[in-house]
Structure 1
Amino acid sequence: MKTPQGLQALIDDGVIDEVLRPLKSGKEAAVYVVRSGDDVRCAKVYKDMAQRSFQQRVQYQEGRKVRGSREARAVGKASKYGRKQQETAWKNTEVDALYQLRAAGVRVPEPHGYFHGVLVMELVTDAEGFSAPRLGEVELDAEQARDFHRVLVRQVVRMLCCGLIHGDLSAYNVLVGPDGPVVIDFPQVVSAGGNNAARTMLLRDVNNLTASLGRWAPELLDTWYGEEMWALFEAGALHPEMELTGEFEPDESSVDLDSVRHAINDAREEALIRQQGREAAAEAEA
Structure 2
Amino acid sequence: MKIPKRIQPLVDDGLVDEVKSQLMSGKEASVYVVRCGESIRCAKVYKEASQRSFKQAVSYREGRKVRNSRRARAMEKGSGFGREQQEKVWQSAEVDALYKLAAAGVRVPEPYGCVDGVLLMELVTDEEGYVAPRLNDVTMSAEQAIEDHLVMMSYVVKMLCVGIIHGDLSEFNVLVDEYGPVIIDLPQAVDASANNNAEWMLERDVNNIREYYGQYAPELLTTDYAKEIWALYEKGDLTPESELTGTFSQIDTEADIAIIMQEIDAARNEERYKRERIKEAKDGIDESKYNWTDDK
TM over 0.5: yes
Deviations 1:204-238 (A, max 9, x none): 00000000000000000111111111111111111
Q: What is the distance in 2 between the residues matched to 1:55 and 1:177?
A: 31
Matched, 1:175 2:192: no
Structure 1 residues 256-267: aligned runs within 5 Å:
none
Please give the per-residue CA displacement for 1:14-68, whole angstroms capped at 9, x wherever unaligned: 1111011000101110000001111111010101122126852111011101232
Cα RMSD, aligned residues only: 1.3
**What is the letter of the counterpart of residue 61 of structure 1?**
R
Q: 1:154 to 1:54 in 2, by over 3 A?
A: closer
Matches within 5 A, 1:58-77: 58-77=58-77
The answer to whether 1:18 aligns with 2:9 is: no
* Cα distance in 1, alignment partners of residues 147 and 8 from structure 2: 42
Percentage identity across paired residues of the two chains: 60
Q: Return 5+ residue gaps in structure 2 as ranges.
A: 261-296
Q: Provide Cα deviations, 1:54-89, integer angstroms capped at 9, x if missing partner.
A: 852111011101232222221111111111111110
Question: Matched residues in 2 for 1:133 and 1:18: separation?
Answer: 23
> Residue type matched to 2:119 in 1?
L
Letter in 2 for 1:145: A
1:80-229 correspondence to structure 2 within 5 Å: 80-229=80-229
Residues 135 and 55 from structure 1, CA distance in 2 versus in 1: closer, same or farther, beyond 3 angstroms? closer
Q: Which amino acid aligns with 1:241?
A: E
- Give the partner amino acid of 1:14: G
Kindly provide the amino acid, as one letter, of the partner of residue 80 in structure 2: K
Q: Residue type matched to 2:68 in 1?
A: G
Q: Could you tell me which amino acid in structure 2 is paired with residue 79 of structure 1?
A: S
Name the amino acid aligned to 1:13: D
Deviations 1:239-272 (A, max 9, x none): 112221111112123189xxxxxxxxxxxxxxxx
- What secondary structure does 1:226 align onto? helix
* Aligned-partner Cα distance in 2 for 1:33–1:241: 36
Match of 2:254 among 238, 252, 255: 252
Aligned-partner residue type, residue 216 of structure 1: Y
**CA positional deviation for 1:116:** 2.4
Secondary structure at 1:252 match in 2: helix
Q: Which residue of 2 aligns with 1:232?
A: 232
- Secondary structure of 2:226's aligned partner: helix
What is the DSSP-based 3-state SS (H/G/I as helix, E as strand, rest coil) of the residue aligned with 1:43? strand
Q: TM-score, normalised by structure 2?
A: 0.84
**For residues 204 and 54 of structure 1, what CA distance do their matches in structure 2 show?**
17
Q: Match for 2:102: what amino acid?
A: R
Q: CA-to-partner distance for each residue in 1:167-187, whole Å, 9 max, x for gaps? A: 000000000011000000001
- Mark the runs of 5 or more structure 1 residues left unpaired by the alignment: 257-286
Does the residue aligned with 2:143 lie in a helix, a strand or coil? Answer: helix
Which position in structure 2 is the counterpart of 1:271?
A: none
1:241 and 1:177 mapped to 2: Cα distance?
24
Task: In structure 2, give the amino acid aligned to 1:56.
Answer: Q
Point out which structure has higher relative CO (alpha carbons under 8 A, 6+ apart).
Answer: 1
Larger gyration radius, structure 1 or structure 2: 2
Amino acid at match of 1:4: P
Secondary structure of 2:89 counterpart: helix
Matching residue's letter, 1:233: Y
Do the aligned partners of residues 55 and 69 (structure 1) sit closer, same or farther apart at CA in structure 2, a change above 3 Å counting?
farther
Q: Provide the rounded CA distance (Å) in 1 between the counterparts of 2:149 and 2:158.
A: 14
